[in-house]
């Protein structure tokens, strides 16, 4: 009888311990998942204001969707342009719609070296004092005295996402990358808006440096 009671007691203890381990493992997995964000690779592209769209493609031209991108309402267009710097040019650069209040060209550092320009690392929309560049379309061309930037690393979040992650608009965080070329990316800007869907944006240079394909989930480090 004693042996039977001991066996039953050991079994009860083991089951209790296993339940506790299982519960803790589930909690840890959930906690880690809350800190992970999807990542997208943003290749060189152009945002156009209405007057420049008219010059490059013709009056009241309607852009055709190539594919949706991660942020609601935005899409890469079928239409492409050529961007020109002092040293060289790059063809087949996609337009991203819808139209904006100000024309902006986003390139990587590698692109900038090829073009012979020195664009600053900036938030999207912050083009004052940025690099000059020429854009050539099928109907005409424009020369921007400023407007070319290298986009900063950033994570789009809704207010609910920001609350979940415990971060604030414009806060700088780090993001950890796993895999064959693991590492940590610093100076990642949090951007919060009701219009945003959760997604981290990096350029092609960062993607190549960390061997990121754009299908991964990366870990946010506050």
| CA 76-59-132 angle, 5° bins | 60
The predicted-structure confidence for 131-183, as pLDDT tens digits, reads as follows 999 999 999 999 999 999 999 999 999 999 999 999 999 999 999 999 999 99
The predicted-structure confidence for 13-33, as pLDDT tens digits, reads as follows 445 544 554 455 433 333 444
Rounded to two decimals, what is the model's pTM? 0.83
Is residue 165 within 8 A of residue 147, CB to CB? The reply is: no
pLDDT for the residue numbered 12: 52
pLDDT for the residue numbered 17: 43
DSSP string, 161-214: HHHHHT--TT-EEEEEE-STT-EEEEEEEEEE-TT--SEEEEEHHHHHHTT--S
165-203 in b/e burial notation, b at 16+ Cβ within 10 A?
bebeeebebebebeeeeeeebeebbbbbeeebebbbbbb
91: helix, strand or coil? strand
pLDDT for the residue numbered 90: 98
All structural domains of the chain, each given as residue ranges with its CATH number in brackets, are 30-39+153-221 (2.40.40.20), 41-151 (no CATH)
The predicted-structure confidence for 107-119, as pLDDT tens digits, reads as follows 999 999 999 999 9
Judged against a pLDDT cut of 50, whether residue 85 lies above it is answered with: yes
């Amino acid at each position: 009888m004693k042996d039977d009671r001991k066996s039953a007691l050991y079994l009860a203890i083991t089951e209790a311990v296993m339940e506790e381990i299982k519960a803790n493992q589930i909690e840890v997995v959930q906690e880690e998942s809350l800190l992970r964000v999807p990542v997208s690779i943003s290749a060189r592209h152009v945002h156009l204001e209405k007057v420049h769209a008219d010059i490059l493609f013709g009056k009241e031209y309607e852009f055709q969707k190539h594919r949706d991108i991660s942020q609601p309402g935005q899409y890469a267009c079928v239409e492409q342009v050529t961007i020109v710097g002092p040293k060289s040019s790059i063809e087949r650069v996609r337009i991203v719609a819808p139209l904006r209040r100000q024309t902006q060209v986003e390139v990587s550092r590698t692109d900038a070296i090829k073009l012979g320009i020195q664009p600053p690392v900036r938030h999207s929309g912050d083009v004052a004092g940025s690099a000059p560049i020429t854009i050539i379309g099928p109907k005409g061309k424009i020369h921007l005295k400023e407007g070319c930037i290298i986009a900063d690393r950033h994570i789009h979040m809704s207010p609910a996402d920001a609350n979940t992650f415990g971060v604030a608009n414009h806060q700088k965080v780090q993001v950890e990358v796993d895999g064959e070329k693991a590492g940590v990316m610093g100076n990642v800007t949090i951007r919060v808006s009701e219009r945003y869907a959760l997604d981290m944006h990096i350029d092609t240079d960062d993607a190549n440096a960390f061997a990121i394909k754009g299908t991964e989930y990366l870990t946010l480090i506050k």
